[in-house]
């Protein structure tokens, strides 16, 4: 699977412009000829090794949460690497620090925060961003005796439990409802114990893209008093397309600005290279928890040093440059080109679910609760037993790969595929097929995806 790559041409012109800014910038070819020959050999070997990958960039890769960076993001990142700025202190990344502040401001504005009424920065990953969100929550909990426990749904990302263990904070996974969302009844039961300091609300679970009912959880906050940390690492950007969402998710996104902290991953739907996470706090006063002295760093400028509001020290300034450039080209505005790309993936997911749901041969079972909330589709194979359904899913997964269609596998509760209250087998989970349709091209390629998928099913089931 080959694609045209516009990045080299984009980068060549920009590199010449950068050279005008830095007359002393060493050119890329300023190495001895014998070393250049050795480098060529190593790069050839590197390219060969990198061939052992799935074609993540191609529309027929519809498996995991892997979305290719925008060509401009790749070019801007590579351009910045000629300088290799460090966004810890201003003297390590002057321009890139300013660009990070602007880019993060654009993300905050998407969620309804602006000006100096928030605090935020980029991180090396969504995991680190969530770590910072829960770390701040833990610092605040120290002043509230006995209110240190963290709650998240059983479908919240598994790293929340790990992060809580690192922070020495108790964590509990709350049951989900038949839609894979945090159960309000189960949450209320835990809150009545009086020891909860923070509730993690997931906006786009990694398994099925479920959106926790933030609007209802906010009402519980009024009753019990706790922090709300929104993990929107995957689903945050869907705030831009409320008209494309079903009503429960739309209500949740409408009030996301009332959360205490929010995490989003630009290296998912934000078209950025790995790793680029982002954490935001509604109260800029939490910056006091980061306060520290450095004998060699922070006296170089009176402007904000991003290391003063981050647990990480050295961070890639190139990530900030790439994000800034992308948002400059594709602003985070409803109805814009960026939002249209999200809507295309969402539409593709809805159409794939519809075809599976109304398959004439009744070969598949979709979620009983209804269509996907975001752009992740999951389904199980119709079979007499959960063992047979799981086996068929694995066989079809392999058969699809033989046809260059790459899906994913996921284990889900069987009850999600039965009407609410219907009996299920004693087995709790069944292996299902899963497709993340996060590329805008997936909508145009859906017929090809369906053709390859149904052909693979014919090979396995007949």
Polymer length of the chain: 462
Q: Is residue 392 part of a domain?
A: yes
- Domain membership flag for residue 201: yes
**What mean pLDDT is predicted for residues 329-352?**
98
Tell me what the mean pLDDT of segment 35-44 comes to: 86
The answer on pLDDT for 13 being more than 90 is: no
Q: Is residue 22 part of a domain?
A: no
> In CATH, what number is assigned to the domain containing residue 127?
3.40.640.10
pLDDT at residue 356 above 80? Answer: yes
Q: Per residue in 71-123, pLDDT tens?
A: 999 999 999 998 899 988 878 888 999 999 999 999 999 999 988 889 999 99
Cross-strand bridge partners of residue 411: 431
Instruction: Tell me what the mean pLDDT of segment 264-276 comes to.
Output: 96
| One domain for residues 291 and 384 | no
Question: Does residue 231 share a domain with residue 315?
Answer: yes
Asked if residue 47 is part of any domain, the answer here is no
325 lies in the same domain as 200: yes
pLDDT of amino acid 12: 78
Say if residue 176 is in the same domain as residue 245.
yes
Mean pLDDT (the chain) is: 91
Residues 197 and 303 grouped into a single domain: yes
Give the confidence band of 295 by pLDDT, cuts at 50, 70, 90. low
Q: How far is 185 from 64, CA to CA, in rounded Å?
A: 32
Whether 15 shows a pLDDT value over 90: the answer reads: no
213-233 per-position pLDDT tens digit: 999 999 999 999 999 999 999
Is residue 353 a part of any domain in this protein? yes
Global pTM value = 0.93
**Domain limit, last residue, from 303, 329, 355:** 329
Q: Using one digit for the tens of pLDDT, what is the confidence trace for 433-442?
A: 999 999 999 9
Q: Within 13 Å of residue 149, how many CA atoms lie on the same side as its CB?
A: 15
Residues 381 and 291 in one domain: no
Q: 277-281 and 364-366: which strand pairing?
A: unpaired
Q: Are 407 and 54 in contact (CB under 8 A)?
A: no
**Same structural domain, 244 and 99:** yes
Q: What average pLDDT score do residues 383-399 get?
A: 95
Cα distances (Å, whole numbers) of residue 128 to 36, 132, 277, 325, 451: 38, 6, 8, 23, 40
Range of the domain at 452: 337-461
Per-residue pLDDT, 427: 60
Domain C-terminal end among 308, 329, 350: 329
The CATH number of residue 343's host domain is: 3.90.1150.170
Q: Are residues 224 and 370 in the same domain?
A: no
Give 89: exposed, middle or buried? Use CB within 10 Å, 0-12, 13-18, 19+: buried
Task: Please say which residue of 266, 300, 329 terminates a domain.
Answer: 329
Which pLDDT value is given to residue 262? 98
Q: Are residues 416 and 307 in the same domain?
A: no
Q: How many independent structural domains does the chain possess?
A: 2
Does the structure show a pLDDT above 70 at 300?
no
Say if residue 298's pLDDT is above 80. no
Q: Does 313 or 121 have the greater pLDDT score?
A: 121
Can you tell me the mean pLDDT for 297-316? 74
């Amino acid at each position: 699977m080959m694609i045209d790559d516009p990045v080299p041409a984009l980068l060549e012109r920009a590199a010449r412009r950068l050279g005008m800014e830095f007359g002393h910038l060493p050119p890329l070819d300023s190495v001895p000829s014998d070393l250049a020959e050795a480098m060529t050999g190593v790069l050839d070997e590197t390219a060969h090794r990198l061939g052992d990958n799935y074609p993540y960039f191609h529309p027929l890769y519809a498996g995991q949460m892997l979305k290719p960076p925008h060509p401009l993001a790749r070019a801007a990142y590579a351009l910045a690497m000629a300088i290799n700025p460090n966004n810890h202190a201003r003297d390590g990344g002057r321009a890139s620090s300013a660009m990070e502040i602007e880019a993060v401001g654009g993300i905050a504005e998407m969620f309804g925060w602006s000006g100096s009424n928030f605090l935020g920065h980029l991180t090396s990953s969504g995991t680190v961003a969530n770590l910072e969100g829960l770390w701040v929550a833990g610092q605040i909990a120290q002043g509230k005796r006995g209110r240190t426990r963290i709650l998240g749904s059983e479908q919240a990302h598994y790293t929340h439990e790990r992060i809580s263990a690192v922070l020495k904070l108790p964590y509990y996974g709350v049951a989900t409802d038949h839609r894979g969302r945090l159960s309000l009844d189960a949450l209320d039961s835990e809150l009545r114990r009086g020891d909860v300091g923070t509730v993690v609300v997931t906006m786009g679970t990694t398994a099925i893209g479920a959106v926790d009912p933030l609007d209802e959880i906010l009402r519980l906050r009024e009753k019990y008093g706790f922090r709300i940390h929104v993990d929107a690492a995957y689903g945050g950007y869907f705030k831009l397309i409320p008209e494309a969402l079903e009503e429960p998710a739309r209500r949740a996104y409408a009030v996301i600005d009332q959360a205490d902290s929010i995490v989003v991953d630009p290296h998912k739907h934000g078209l950025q290279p790995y790793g680029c996470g982002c954490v935001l706090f509604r109260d800029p006063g939490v910056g006091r928890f980061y306060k520290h002295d450095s004998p060699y760093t922070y006296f170089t400028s009176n402007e904000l040093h991003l290391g003063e509001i981050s647990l990480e020290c050295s961070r890639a300034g190139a990530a900030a440059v790439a994000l800034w450039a992308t948002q400059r080209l594709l602003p985070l505005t409803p109805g814009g080109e960026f939002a249209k790309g999200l809507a295309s993936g969402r539409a593709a997911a809805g159409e794939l679910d519809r075809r599976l749901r109304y398959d004439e041969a009744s070969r598949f079972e979709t979620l009983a609760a209804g269509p996907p909330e975001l752009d992740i589709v999951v389904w199980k194979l119709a079979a007499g037993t959960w063992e047979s359904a799981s086996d068929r899913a694995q066989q079809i997964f392999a058969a699809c790969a033989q046809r260059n269609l790459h899906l994913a596998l996921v284990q889900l509760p069987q009850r999600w595929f039965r009407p609410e209250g219907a009996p299920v087998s004693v087995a709790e989970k069944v292996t299902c097929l899963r497709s993340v349709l996060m590329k805008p091209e997936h909508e145009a390629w859906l017929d090809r995806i369906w053709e390859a998928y149904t052909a693979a099913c014919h090979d396995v089931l007949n």
